[in-house]
Amino acid sequence: MSALLQLTNVNRSFGGVHAVDNVSVEIEEGTIFGLIGPNGAGKTTLVNLVTGYIRPQSGSIKLLSPPPPASEKGSNSPPPLAGEGRVGAAVELARRPPHAVAGMGIARTFQTLRLYRNLTALENVLAGMHLRRRDDTLQQLIPIPAFLKEDRRRWQHARELLARVGLDPDKFGNRQAATLSYGDQRRLEVARALALNPHLLILDEPAAGMNPAEKDRVRALIQQLNQDGLTVLLIDHDMRLVMGVCRHIAVLNFGRKIADGPPATVSQDPAVITAYLGSQAQKTAAHVPGSEEMDVAATSTAVSAEPTSPLLEVRDLQVSYGAIQAVRGVSFGVAKGEIVALIGANGAGKSTILNSLSGVLRPHSGVARFGELDLTTAPPDRIVSQGLIQVPEGREILARLTVRENLELGAWGRSNGRSAHRDIEGLMKQFPILGQRRDLPAGQLSGGEQQILAIARGLLAQPKLLLLDEPSLGLAPQMVDTVFDVIKKIHNDGVTILLVEQNALRALEIADRAYVVETGRILLSGTGAALRRNPEVQKAYLGG
């Protein structure tokens, strides 16, 4: 087997952030190559670099000796693709526009679905055949049957492609793409990518938001396509899928490649475990399951009872985005004075749970009570005035306003201006990072400083319960420490906290109790200390 795609020292930064930092990867022809990494690791940026949507600042991306396109079974061999360098030596892809990269036989799907929503399923696939369609303006101007033979052949081929990804062309062919179910839309996107007749198919999170049965079908489809001779580059958060289907895996973290090898090696790599579970992982990983300490932990699990009279009570909560069910019946509680953590891999539904508590999303069904307040129906402003405050994922500070102005907005709902003013000054003292930068535009703060600002802004609304969504997202390790110190501090000041984190071990360290969320369900629960030693947690993240 020879290499098909070769990335050498590829660099791309946005502002000061190294999204892709000196990455070199080689994808062999005929393989299924997995690209994994935590949220914000640079996976999608890497795909965008390969497919021409983003230009690298340095480094090279080479497509090596692509063979002539394989002709499809059951159809006449398609007309040759437009574009140079189809056959022959290495072709440099960097700095080529996306349509030219597609012309080289590299097809992709998108992390967020990008179908032609108002076109039918068949029209979507037909549009994907653009490069294989000859210019037919004259034939179409005089639409007599003899001139439209090519047209009929293309329709037939589009129907075959739909069937190939498991969509019945009779049933779904003439349906508008937007009306298909979520899983079918994902499949349709694969069919459209296949219409290019590619050498390399890049699938960007094809199984995101799918239930286990749908994921199995995606897995079968990927394997089938690979058996038909297609090289696949798969990006996904679902470790079970990636570990199960890929022959080779590269792991990215903070834009750097931290591991590269067959799945079995990668999943045991200490650097990978650290990247996924947080900086404390190696210490814990050293504990052999079943050791003494493990047993101690196991007994302590029993101690952590659910609170009897919780401040926040959630029962059988279900939340959907259109056809996707993100939260499938979740129950938990938070007692006054606790720190409770919801942990789990990206896409598990953690943020959705928080958003449905703060009134940003409306749950499908279930109970969510905060004291006397029914969170499933109360308007967001009422939820805030009752003392349930959310610090959203990605911080959502107002970049052009100064630190001070951001804090003043946090006190918006308060009637007593003088006490709000006093609190702002108090926070500036408490968090000198903010006090020193009070007149700087918030956008100039570092990510961690912005996070502290966002938390301080939340505190000004005088929360009884603070919802923190991924406070460590995208932060460098020392900054993560600072942010967690801040969280501990405000908890000691008497604020109850519900924390959502990808960085599981850090969250478990400060949490009284925690719940492990996987694909919209609660998989495990227990005290922070107990879960930290539970091998199941590692499994939930790495697919063990």
Partner 1 sequence: MDFFIQLFTDPVGFYNQHELLIAQIGINAILAISIFVTFYSGQLTLANAGFMAIGAYTTVIMSLYLPTPLPVDMLVGALLAAAIGFLVGLPVLRLRGVFLAIATIGFVEALRLGVILNLPITGEGQGLKNPSADPLGGIVPILISVPILTYLVWRLTHTRLGQAWAAIREDELAASSNGINVPAYKMVAFVISALVAGYAGALETHINFFVDPTEYSVTRTIQILTFAVVGGTTNVIGPIVGAVFLTALPEIVRQFAAYRDVVNGIILILVIIFRPQGIVGRGGLAIIAPRWWTRWRTRERAAAAH
Contact residues for partner 1 (CB under 8 A)?
51-53, 81-83, 97-99, 102-103, 107-108, 110, 114-119, 123, 126-128, 130-131, 133-137, 140-141, 143, 170-171, 174, 192-193, 195-196
Are the C-beta atoms of 438 and 428 separated by less than 8 Å? Answer: yes
Sheet with 324-334, strands from edge to edge, namely 324-334, 312-321, 365-370, 373-374
* Structure-token match 């990335």, residue found: 7
How far does Cα 480 stand from its chain's mean position? Answer: 20
Strands 521-527 and 513-518: antiparallel
- 115 vs 407, beta carbon nearer partner 1: 115
* H/E stretch holding 526: strand 521-527
Tokens for 41, please give them.
């690791």
Local structure of residue 250 (DSSP, 8 states): E
- 98 vs 261, beta carbon nearer partner 1: 98
Give, in degrees to the nearest 5, the angle at Cα 280 between 274 and 281.
Answer: 45
Shortest CB 45 distance to partner 1, Å: 15
Shortest CB 106 distance to partner 1, Å: 9
Q: How far apart are CA 92 and CA 52, in angstroms?
A: 11
- 53 vs 435, beta carbon nearer partner 1: 53
Shortest CB 227 distance to partner 1, Å: 24
Give, in degrees to the nearest 5, the angle at Cα 309 between 335 and 500.
Answer: 30
- 193 vs 341, beta carbon nearer partner 1: 193
Shortest CB 166 distance to partner 1, Å: 18
Q: How far apart are CA 185 and CA 207, in angstroms?
A: 11
Backbone angles phi, psi at 177, to 5 degrees: -55, -40
Instruction: Please tell me whether residue 344 adopts helix, strand or coil conformation.
Output: coil
Are the C-beta atoms of 150 and 139 separated by less than 8 Å? Answer: yes
Shortest CB 196 distance to partner 1, Å: 6
In sign, the C-alpha dihedral spanning 165, 170, 173, 176 is negative
Shortest CB 230 distance to partner 1, Å: 16
Shortest CB 121 distance to partner 1, Å: 13
- 130 vs 382, beta carbon nearer partner 1: 130
Shortest CB 97 distance to partner 1, Å: 7
- 193 vs 486, beta carbon nearer partner 1: 193
- 53 vs 300, beta carbon nearer partner 1: 53
Instruction: Please tell me whether residue 282 adopts helix, strand or coil conformation.
Output: helix
Shortest CB 215 distance to partner 1, Å: 23
Tokens for 522, please give them.
């609660």
Shortest CB 199 distance to partner 1, Å: 13
E strands in 114-254: 200-204, 231-235, 248-253
- 118 vs 309, beta carbon nearer partner 1: 118
Q: How far apart are CA 369 and CA 522, in angstroms?
A: 18
DSSP 176-201: BGGGS-HHHHHHHHHHHHHTT--SEE
* H/E stretch holding 514: strand 513-518
Tokens for 102, please give them.
């597609």
* H/E stretch holding 256: strand 256-261
- 114 vs 382, beta carbon nearer partner 1: 114
Are the C-beta atoms of 408 and 388 separated by less than 8 Å? Answer: no
Shortest CB 14 distance to partner 1, Å: 18
- 121 vs 391, beta carbon nearer partner 1: 121
Backbone angles phi, psi at 521, to 5 degrees: -130, 160
Q: How far apart are CA 32 and CA 22, in angstroms?
A: 23
- 52 vs 528, beta carbon nearer partner 1: 52
- 126 vs 389, beta carbon nearer partner 1: 126
Instruction: Please tell me whether residue 391 adopts helix, strand or coil conformation.
Output: strand
Shortest CB 470 distance to partner 1, Å: 26
Shortest CB 289 distance to partner 1, Å: 45
Q: How far apart are CA 79 and CA 136, in angstroms?
A: 13
- 123 vs 269, beta carbon nearer partner 1: 123
Shortest CB 52 distance to partner 1, Å: 8
Are the C-beta atoms of 87 and 66 separated by less than 8 Å? Answer: yes
Q: How far apart are CA 46 and CA 239, in angstroms?
A: 19
- 107 vs 391, beta carbon nearer partner 1: 107
Tokens for 486, please give them.
């801040």
